[in-house]
C-alpha cells in the first residue's frame, strides 16, 4: 500500500460492509446440518417407509446420503459465496480518495477523489439506524453520484471523510492528481478494520 500512495497521502481507515447480510447464511449454516441430522434419524427409524411404503429399508442409506449432500450444497452454494462476497468487499478511505473494492477473482473498483466531492449524504433504513450502518452517497458534480452500501458506523465514516476533505491543501485540485491503484497484498500492516483513525 505504501508504494501505491501518492506523496503526502495517508490511509485513514479500511472497513467492510456491515455484516448483517451474513445473518441468513449464518442461520442456514447452523440449520442445514441440524435438519439433515433430523431427517437422517427420521429415515433410519423407518418413518420414511411408513410414510411412503414404496421406500424399503434398502433405500435408507441413499436417503441419508441425500440429506448430507443437501446440507453440503446449502453450505457451498449459499453460505460460502455470500461469506466470500462480504470478505472481498472493502471500503478504503485515505486522505485523498475513497475506494470501494468488490470481488476477489473478478474485481471491480470504484474510486472517488476527495477533491471532487461536492456533497456527502447518509441514507439509513430502520434496521441500519439500529445497527448504526448506512449507505453513503458522494456527489461529485455533473450529476454523478457514487453510493457505498452498508458502511458500518456510517456517521463516523462520514465524519472522517469530511475531515479529510477539509484538510485538502487549499487551491489544489486533487481530482487532477494521478492516484495509483494497489493490491490486497500491499495494504499497510498497521491498518485495522472498523472505524479507526490512523492519522
Residue 178, phi then psi, degrees to nearest 5: -85, 120
Which is more confident, 73 or 176? 73
Q: Is residue 134 predicted with pLDDT exceeding 90?
A: yes
Q: Across the strands, what pairs with 108? A: 102
Is the Cβ–Cβ distance between 4 and 186 less than 8 Å?
A: yes
Residue 50 C-alpha cell reads as: 411408513
98-119 pLDDT tens trace: 989 898 888 888 888 998 888 9
3-state helix, strand, coil in the chain (%, to 5): 45, 20, 30
Evaluate if pTM is beyond 0.85: no
Residue located via cell numbers 441430522: 37
**Alpha carbon 125 to chain centroid distance?**
18
- In the predicted model, what is the mean pLDDT of residues 137-165? 89
CA within 13 Å, CB half, 177:
22
Band of residue 196 on the pLDDT scale cut at 50, 70, 90: very low
Per residue in 45-82, pLDDT (tens digit) is: 766 666 565 566 666 778 888 889 999 999 999 999 99
- Please say whether the structural domain 2-16+93-171 has been given the CATH code 2.30.29: yes
Amino acid at each position: 500500500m505504501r508504494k501505491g500512495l501518492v506523496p503526502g497521502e495517508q490511509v485513514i481507515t479500511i472497513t467492510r460492509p456491515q455484516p448483517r447480510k451474513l445473518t441468513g447464511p449464518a442461520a442456514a449454516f447452523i440449520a442445514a446440518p441440524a435438519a439433515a441430522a433430523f431427517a437422517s434419524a427420521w429415515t433410519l427409524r423407518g418413518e420414511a417407509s411408513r410414510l411412503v411404503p414404496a421406500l424399503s429399508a434398502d433405500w435408507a442409506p441413499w436417503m441419508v446420503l441425500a440429506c448430507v449432500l443437501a446440507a453440503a450444497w446449502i453450505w457451498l452454494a449459499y453460505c460460502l459465496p455470500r461469506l466470500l462476497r462480504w470478505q472481498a468487499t472493502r471500503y478504503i478511505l485515505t486522505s485523498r480518495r475513497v475506494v470501494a473494492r468488490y470481488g476477489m477473482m473478478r474485481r471491480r473498483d470504484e474510486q472517488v477523489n476527495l477533491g471532487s466531492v461536492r456533497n456527502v449524504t447518509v441514507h439509513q433504513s430502520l434496521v441500519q439506524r439500529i445497527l448504526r450502518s448506512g449507505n453513503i452517497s458522494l456527489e461529485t458534480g455533473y450529476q454523478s453520484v457514487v453510493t457505498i452500501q452498508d458502511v458500518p458506523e456510517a456517521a463516523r465514516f462520514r465524519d472522517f471523510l469530511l475531515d479529510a476533505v477539509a484538510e485538502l491543501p487549499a487551491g489544489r485540485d486533487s481530482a487532477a492528481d494521478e492516484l495509483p491503484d494497489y493490491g490486497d497484498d500491499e495494504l499497510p500492516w498497521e491498518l485495522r478494520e472498523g472505524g479507526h483513525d490512523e492519522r
